[in-house]
Structure 1
């Protein structure tokens, strides 16, 4: 009996709200010459291929062949399909082919998949078990593909991705698919994934998508307890009184000079090593050499300082630094970018290099911040100041770090005038915050780009400092910084004038040099450099190195006094990969370009060794309080803090307050409080640091007691009077500026015999901040008792000795009374 023509229906794909249906026309023994299909549908056909719609009335569709597929050969097949809106479970009813009812050789069975859930567990794996069913048994094998898809759960983190093909043997109606779930202990919401069926063979898809739910079974641990410990420090003596001022190795300023703890003029002569501010989160070149080898070479070349650029992002990023060959620097393996900075600073302390930390930009990248300001979207001024406070406290015990370059090239800032873009005011806010945490650092303030219509190099325009000087809470810590470059970097108009080299001294003076020339403050030329390829660059380089050497009018003669140092400097750059200037090193990251060093070597300066071990001895300037968490926290913990006087008052320590931040995983942070040194014999004094408003932690011991340990002995009795005569003395003010002055005292022995030891009193309301060639014995409200140094107590007949001191205070400077 000949086989009749048949019609078969199946669903090949479906989704929420739609599906794809397929019809197959079999020609049977006699074939077909044209065909028409009719059926009732509970769905709407939105797209059709392989046929055309003859009519659609109510739920009844009539389709017919196209010209190219009307003929179906004997036992041949023609396929057509459609996209429909609705549910695939709504099968077409009353199917007919050329007017003859057909069951399609039995409508294929329908596949469905059910949702699944499982508790995730703390470790190992569990299984989500999905059940796939046929609504009735099939006479032949049925296959269907399956694959997982992320929902809120992520493959590889929460579960193992899975895909494959499921086969039902003839007569089988149920199978399972198992998806492995990865256990963890994180406290989180329930998470989901999807398991989707597709491309069935021998069946249609009734429900092709199931949700797998991974149920969280972890509970949050209790928040850690936060507590602060007590602290103590020996108060020490003021600078120049025999006990040393500030931490060992700390630098201060006097007039236009940077001075060491002994009052000797010194000079920072260094090089910029960039990369920590970049997306590498590490100094560049560590792919070629180890960091210690690199720094040893800087030291060997005569540099005493590294200006180390960094970004705000570096301080908060959890990303791993890159561009490091860890076989050359194994100590850096596994460290964060900030921890890499720690290692650079630690090694600098070991080999005697100083570090200037340079806030080069906010987000990690190349160059200065794009908006020319110290803040931008995502990086507020408050965060910038908090970051500096954190760094000041973090490195308070590291004498290798000598200064904070507050922000690189704030060229769009205003110098004064108030408002959000007032760079001078912002620099004071940040500088004072740094000094509150670490009073030993120099505060380095760069220039802007334009002042009252006068343009200069970004960061190089310090004209506004004359009209609106920076005022800091700690005296003698301010250094101004300029950047200056040659014609090859940008063809500035002053380089285009004939004989421009003769006008460069005046240009330097106008923009930044006047601060040094007029003894207002020290200047650090933080960036200058060239590839030595433009002839104009060589004329500029000759002029600027001459100026830095102390030849301020460039006439070939040194214009500063013996014992004074020229302006400090850091060359841009050590790195050969600076597109503008190249580096001290050639492109191999190893060979020194001697043509550059020939210009720099005459300007170098030996700063000497740092304190043994690279750490301060804690003698009288900074007290460190340790704040701890009882356990690491999964998220950042914050707590506010403030100092409170006790028996120690505000004359004994610098009042401070702030917010301490523990990053996830951190359990210990420090708060640094500046201690005022003196020479008064007194009882030990105490004050408190009080914590409040913890966020992400509960309160433990919230108050720490700081004890200032007195180290001053009772003043010795005065020496016996001079026989057959006496001393005559005079005191005079030799220099004065806003808020301070320098005085000189001369003592002449007019007696008939030599003097062996001398002591005098100076009555003055002013505070002596530094003294040389003498020692302070005691200090009261009326003035100071001062005695000879160890080496100048003997004064021969008719001989004269002298000593000097710096005083702090404004007003009439005549109130200096010498009592012998």
Structure 2
């Protein structure tokens, strides 16, 4: 018989379908094969073959290298996903020989009945009706019937509602009917109550959803309880010396994370796990995290912490770092401290508050231009956003947040699905990741570097960002050891009907699929693995099975036998769920559409994977209270409602040179009675009297005012010295460079057509120590961003710039540096520095 070609359509949905084709060899072997056909659909994804050409509606496809040879009587198959309602392939031809054409019609699906949940306010007397809607998925030619009956939940028949049962009939053509249940009102203050409505015995249809929950919402309010009172206590701390973190000392990297084998470890070498959530929006044209139109960012971040997450993966765009557009989509009555800030400064505030409450941040370069989703190019560069700018942006961010252990690392680029893993060239993602990772570590050696996968490798397609097969033969090598983490993305059937979800027994094969694409890196001890995105609305039965498998795999069940396979003392793989936001069209969020209610089913599935990072220091120094005043603010009793109070420091004998001013709003969640406000103290070596400042509370909401002021005492620990003899006044002399006093040098880090990044190193050539420095930076360029220093004034010639609180002290031959972004085409000869 001649070689033949078959075509089948195993799966359809609105606007698309899956098509499978099989090549069957006759008595002679095939050494390569070509398939041609005409079609009104568009192939959007293809596996097992490649497209040779497409002219109009005519496709020509051919074998890949691994399936070109088909032995006598053997079969080679391939498949594709296509967009379009018509799945017909006309004029099928195999190696030029015409074949049969029309795919078999799909079997008729039975009618399906569903019932939706319902809710009603209880009322304080009389009765109301709880209305359930029962639907058919399409009109029926004849009548359809289904029985129904109520059942108790927390609501009891005869007390809270009237038990109901009966039979519902859909007349020909009808697709919607209602069932009404009488609810009895009362004035008791109680929790919401629920009853069940169950369908059974359908005739003429099947049951797609046979049970609904009816919620009787309580609308009775208890009389208000007396408000608790707010108070703040006094605090004291030893001043400390510059360069030390108070008693016990501690190096600058003690609060940062590293890697050991396949584990992420803390500074003590203990295995830890990132267990977080994605909060998107900074990458969008809002230039701010989403949801700030509904709530305050602090309130939402407190909720993330309360739900057990320890990290936020924070997407941003390249455009965010360069735009002059103001952030939008923010209700400033709920986010007053974000008023007037740039998008980058909003990022600063998110990071600052994360540090205050013990959350960590992973910065994620999600796309180049501002918008939704990953970059349209599928690459880390796009249009005017070059690779050089991408690296410069990362270098700037690494320097900006250096020393702050709140930010634990850089997810270099989200879903580089059009990149290749190795092979050289402009699209070699592995090589680009090494270039960017090494640049980041040169600027900030404390960060972790997260490297995502590609979309396809050696003919194997997988989720964008999830294909890390290439690591085995081409691992990433960074200049700083123990800082590399591989990052994958993985999603279920509802996001995209991948072919492996359509195969018989697919659930049992999922663990092997994870292992093939990214899990082997962890299982074989190559490096840690971080699942940066996974999520679902949990509305698809296949999604639930996928979630069971992937959470077990993340927990350490690497062979799906129900037992944990990792040694005691080690942790499973790290992760961040997609997403916190309910406005993710694919997955929804941890929050419901009201931006407040937590979807319990999602949090419950993630709870076994959570991890408490504990009291890891947030400033990169030693854990504890050294060089910080810690004021305790208390409520006299727990409240059933949130309590808020504003706070601010007020100088006393301690002034701006002695401490960093602090202000903000504290929020006590229901049940909480204590909060801590920390104030950073500036160390020095001066022998002086103890100094004081105040922390003042104001504007209490939900509580009355008690003791609203606390005194903070900075205890001098430098001893006493004989007052120095005042020397005769002589005219000041500016020493030559390198012979004494302060000297500064400018260096150009990078430049592009519309701007540049520069750095200034300030050196004290002594011999005396300097307690604070200030310089003039004269140049014809505008500074658009600055870090590790602050602008005092600007005139027509340039800027006056001084130290920030933590880098003003310079001993003999000590050096500090700051950086900035400038606008315009740079000429370094036009930049002068004066003291």
TM-score normalised by the chain length of structure 1 = 0.49
